[in-house]
Chain A
């Protein structure tokens, strides 16, 4: 288990190593609070109107829903794939059936995702 903690250590090391860059930058860079317009969000030179984050529906939201299903499926396939050498050859059949079901579902979802008006 020590190995997994090393990933976290690496993560922590990067945080500790990079935070000084921001702190030094904050220390040596000029800080002029002269103009409130300076701190407005980017709106191409105009005064911003409306909220920055709104209810914003990309028309491709269906793909994200598919991801939720297929990511799990992919990891499940890894459990099978890593032990393939030890398994009987006939175990491919249920996997193919499983993939068939998933492909059917995926084809339907892809077909539906072309309809922009479902969202």
Chain B
């Protein structure tokens, strides 16, 4: 008889266990298998050995290692996998979650405290999961006078726009969700959606503090978009292209930050402002306007906005890496795939299996991903640090920085780029 469960009886416990197992089996059979069927039927199924893989074939393949590898490969190279997992949403969400945890620990170390500590055995590593559980089980309160559809939609749209931004970032050669000719312009187009979502959510909340926060966010994003756009003009001039993948290819020998340090600084500052991070967190300035445009969000809606903003942070850091730090370029550190596995096979106990189609992903891809992730993490680190060092700035200071100083610097950067081209240092005849 414990305090926690005073009516505990072993027989009831075993009964409940068996009950649960029964229901799990029933539900899996009735719901799970049809879902698997539907997925297998509607998802683009690969053609294997001149034969379309139907669901039944796919089932057999999953449990057949020699057939499973090509099948796996076809899944990994499918669009859906790109969107949902690797260069797309899953990867971004994973990095975003890691960023949240790293930020809390990093700030704690800067501020002479321990940070998350109790949840999880090691350094509170499960804190994020705990927070997620808390947020999802909290009540969502929507103000009575709010425009409900818009208010519900705003957090989802925020995450979705951030995800659309992620879609444009190339992680490794060929590994990008949408490899556009006008990638840079598309980036600006996607960034332009964020103020709209902010204003929508703040307008629909029908409350004073979100309203002021939304207007502040509008001013801030609008005034920092011009320096952001202009600071990247130098990159376009030097590389002569707007495609992000080609910009990375152009940086094979020299990273662009070598030639355009001013542009990189301007872009970094504008990035901080677009991300609403301290010192530019005016739209959420909690001591002035409670929580700005997030005031009325509660429970999971707030959680989604946070997730979205950290995905956005990853996307911006990735963009910085792609544009200025050479993207996936870096010395080859990943060892080549051992040939003998393909030629001789794997010795697993009594069985030797020769698997065709290995390696699943190429060496360049692994290497590129490794370097891209390392550089992105470094940039994220630099984005996180100002939060422990700077106070918040005021909106008129922000506007005057954006319009007077950063735009001027962006033009300086542009003329540096033009000068480099015209002097013949870079470009067709230069060291490029």
What is the interface of chain A, defined by CB distance below 8 A to chain B?
3-4, 6-15, 17-19, 21-22, 24-26, 28-32, 36, 38-44, 48, 50-53, 56, 58, 60, 63-64, 66-67, 70-71, 74-75, 77-78, 81-86, 89, 92, 99, 106, 110
Q: Which chain A positions have C-beta within 8 A of B159?
A: 14-15, 18
Once the chains are docked, how many angstroms separate the CA of A29 from the CA of B142? 14
Is B99's CB within 8 Å of the partner chain A? no
In the bound complex, residues from chain B placing their C-beta under 8 Å from that of A9 are 79, 83, 177
5 tightest A-B CB contacts, nearest first: A41-B207, A14-B163, A25-B300, A10-B167, A14-B160
Q: Is B261 among interface residues, defined by CB-CB distance under 8 A?
A: no
Query: Does B156 touch A at the CB level, under 8 Å?
Result: yes
Given contacts A52-B206, A67-B222, A78-B185, contact A42 B160 (CB under 8 A): no
Q: When the two chains form their complex, are residues A41 and B206 in contact, meaning their CB atoms are under 8 A apart?
A: yes
Contact status A24-B136, CB under 8 Å: yes
Judging by beta carbons under 8 Å apart, are B83 and A10 in contact? yes
Complex contact B137–A71 (CB within 8 A): no
In the complex, which of the residues A32, A41, A50 contacts B205, with contact meaning CB atoms closer than 8 Å?
A: A41
Given the interface contacts A14-B159, A58-B219, does A92 sit within 8 Å of B208 by beta carbon?
A: no
Provide the main secondary structure of the chain A interface. Answer: helix
- Which stretch from B14-22, B42-50, B396-404 is at the chain A interface? B396-404
B: interface residue count bin: 35 or more
A41→B89 contact, CB < 8 A: no
Q: Is the CB of B167 within 8 A of A18?
A: no
A96 to B159 Cα, complex, angstroms:
40
Q: Are B304 and A31 in contact (CB under 8 A)?
A: no
Bound Cα distance A110, B405 (Å): 12
B residues whose Cβ falls under 8 Å from a Cβ of A: 79, 82-84, 88-89, 135-146, 152, 155-157, 159-164, 166-168, 177-180, 184-186, 188, 190, 203, 205-212, 215-216, 218-219, 222-223, 225-226, 229-230, 233, 236-237, 240-242, 290, 295-296, 299-301, 303-304, 307, 395-396, 399, 403-404, 407, 411, 414, 418, 421-422, 427-428
Query: B216 to chain A: which residues have CB within 8 Å?
Result: 58
| A7 and B211 contact, Cβ closer than 8 Å, known pairs A44-B290, A78-B242 | no
Decide if A70 touches B139 in the complex (CB within 8 Å). Answer: no
Q: Closest CB-CB distance, A26 to chain B, in whole Å? A: 6
Q: Contacts A13-B88, A18-B160 given: A7-B136 contact, CB under 8 Å?
A: no
Q: When chains A and B are docked, how far (Å) is the Cα of A4 from the Cα of B178?
A: 7
User: Contact: A41 with B88, CB < 8 Å?
Assistant: no
Which residues does chain A contribute within 8 Å of B414, judged by CB atoms?
Answer: 77, 81
Contact status of A58 and B215, CB under 8 A, knowing A13-B88, A25-B137, A84-B421: yes
In contact, B225 and A67 (Cβ under 8 angstroms): yes
